[in-house]
Structure 1
């Protein structure tokens, strides 16, 4: 990897991501990259911009608008929100010439769109996606997919029936550092992967101030079970996708414990979760998330028999040979009939502390991979076919997050569903 691979101020998604991931090892796990490369000549960036209507203009929706504006093949053609305060803030970003609506059905009826972007509360995703698909539009939807496993499957089925693209916002799948990490893992650089440790720790209540003209459930929907699974769907789904991706599988079962441990403020979702996802062969993803300590922040550790990859930190580490205790060396010497000096004051035991070698960089860049997602989505819409593999990854990550919620609620192991919708794309 060189600095040129991360010159992200001028080049397109195709140039940026494919330059960072070219070569064997990624095609199987990230087929959208090679598919985008094959379609590059047929869908040049100089074509008409894909016109997007954004439904939901809260904090995340406004961040998406900014990223769409940075992309070179998409444009914000309409915005929509039921809360006037959010809509006014979005107007200031999108521009006064962009039509604004208080009802998504009015936005769809006005036409002039190629696709919609959904950034509404989780329990509204499935209905908004269906409305867009029924209107003949492609759909980009924030993760997680939906509030229930059934609705996640319905979104896949609705997109298939409509013959339209459904892409879910898992930006790590477009992150050059993560793609390079995946490439190197697939090339065997860290040996056999048996465990992924992931965490997302914060130190804030996650509660937002409620304006006088809004309700708490309207602004703080993430804290209530009707609209959200809390940490599982708003955070964990990202890292469960990473675990599935690097293990190239879906879990067989999950156990976990969740609690409202610190923020006892009327919320209904857990503020502290700990789960173990088991995969074939005994492999595991161990996940924790909490809201009252940010020491370890957001990280993943992809642990193999000969090394470790920490993609969030952009580092790859090789295993360090274990130290040999002085008494063990003396025993081996006696058996061999050899002699060497044994330090009398030397330690005969030492704690196995974390290895602190600096490792090697996986490459880094100053960019927002969310923008790369939209350039990929734009290419898919132009070509009229989804980038293969994306929807399956997102669907399985959403199912895993909701299955984890069920395991914590019931206090028992939950097995992977056998009746999931089959995802066929690309």
Structure 2
């Protein structure tokens, strides 16, 4: 697959990816692609979405929904009036607005809701939407507790309504191509994935006079967030499970409030090891005071490595022969050569600096594309296969990692989880 193969337009993405990822292995890994590829310009009107939560993330989602061919924003809701005002510039004039999500649900006229509220509100908002007979698209992570994550899944199953979680990397052509090449054996057996999401900011936002800190800075408090684990790590844990084709067997880690000592309750620095069957490992770090290494995943196999965030694949390079080993071999065969006194007798194992090969890029927006897939799922009444399984396990992994750090001990993968 070349860069030209991934010279994509937003409108042709899913069809092109379906062709690029054809084959039994990819059909099993990305079963939603075949269903989503059937999306066509609707003849019966667009899927009507009500957006609950119009803060920064909610407004970004509204803009992405506006680019789709099969969805539209039919109502918006937020308990904080300034957020509603900001969101109105991205929806048609006259779009109904609400300060109470139940009032929006009672008003009818919707096919589904989009939830972009603080993490601890996801479960209740989802339950209320299911009770109103609506489908649900919800931001990741799923919920504040593992129990609530399971309750959302069961409610979706019982009500026969779609529950889709916002893991947009599963619609990203570079990640899909990376997964195709892994399934084809190009980098050999994966034994380790290293991932990081590093930033250099406090996450703290100014608090307007008409609000309060816990509303505006909800990510910094345990009641409403697990901090780095649910706001960032969930994305990359999904990638780890996806590429390793498994869930962890156990996790251990350490978290601390290391730099931003400003009254926050969530860690600003985390380091964890997730263990998988066969001794495989997913090593994760995230911090808020150094952005040098940013957001990346390094998928390491016996024949090569893939860095999907950077869009590159690297072939493994045989290690250089150490000078002392070379001298030993010379002695055995009676060969003499000069060994400089004080010179280097070994080669440090420096990172590979070769540019690697491109995984392909294109003009697309994976957040918009996941809404196109959601629109098709709502129309058919059938979820895109595999998406909820991935999202649920990623949320469980993030919350289990938080518990392992809090307890200072390794925790095994929970039993009794819901079946998807």
TM range (shorter): over 0.9
The match for 1:110 is: 107
Task: Report the Cα offset of residue 96 of structure 1.
Answer: 1.9
Equivalents in 2 of 1:378, 1:145: separation in Å? 19
Equivalents in 1 of 2:4, 2:78: separation in Å? 40
Q: 1:24 to 1:340 in 2, by over 3 A?
A: farther
The match for 1:171 is: 168
The match for 2:18 is: 18
User: How many residues end up aligned between the 2 structures?
Assistant: 418
| Mapping for residues 263-282 of structure 1, pairs under 5 Å | 263-282=260-279
**Paired residues of 1:51 and 1:112 also in contact (CA < 8 A):** yes
SS of 1:167's partner is strand
**CA offset digits 1:62-81 (Å, max 9, x no partner):** 00000000111111111100
**CA offset digits 1:372-393 (Å, max 9, x no partner):** 1101111111222111110000
**Paired residues of 2:174 and 2:359 also in contact (CA < 8 A):** yes
Equivalents in 2 of 1:298, 1:381: separation in Å? 32
The match for 1:44 is: 40
**Paired residues of 2:168 and 2:367 also in contact (CA < 8 A):** yes
**CA offset digits 1:225-255 (Å, max 9, x no partner):** 0000000000000000000011100001111
SS of 2:29's partner is coil
The match for 1:34 is: 34
Task: Report the Cα offset of residue 8 of structure 1.
Answer: 4.2
Q: 1:3 to 1:97 in 2, by over 3 A?
A: farther
Equivalents in 1 of 2:118, 2:101: separation in Å? 14
SS of 1:90's partner is helix
**Paired residues of 2:36 and 2:372 also in contact (CA < 8 A):** no
SS of 1:28's partner is helix
Q: 1:361 to 1:198 in 2, by over 3 A?
A: same
RMSD of Structure 2 on Structure 1 (CA): 1.5
Task: Report the Cα offset of residue 110 of structure 1.
Answer: 1.0
**Paired residues of 1:13 and 1:376 also in contact (CA < 8 A):** no
SS of 2:309's partner is coil
The match for 1:58 is: 55
Matched, 1:192 2:189: yes
SS of 2:127's partner is helix
Task: Report the Cα offset of residue 109 of structure 1.
Answer: 0.9
Task: Report the Cα offset of residue 13 of structure 1.
Answer: 4.6
Task: Report the Cα offset of residue 16 of structure 1.
Answer: 4.2
**Paired residues of 2:305 and 2:313 also in contact (CA < 8 A):** yes
Which 10-residue stretch deviates more, 11-20 or 122-131? 11-20
Matched, 1:407 2:404: yes
Q: 1:145 to 1:263 in 2, by over 3 A?
A: same
**Unmatched segments (≥5 aa) in structure 1:** none
The match for 2:124 is: 127
Equivalents in 1 of 2:359, 2:276: separation in Å? 27
SS of 2:137's partner is strand
**Paired residues of 1:21 and 1:176 also in contact (CA < 8 A):** no
Equivalents in 2 of 1:344, 1:183: separation in Å? 48
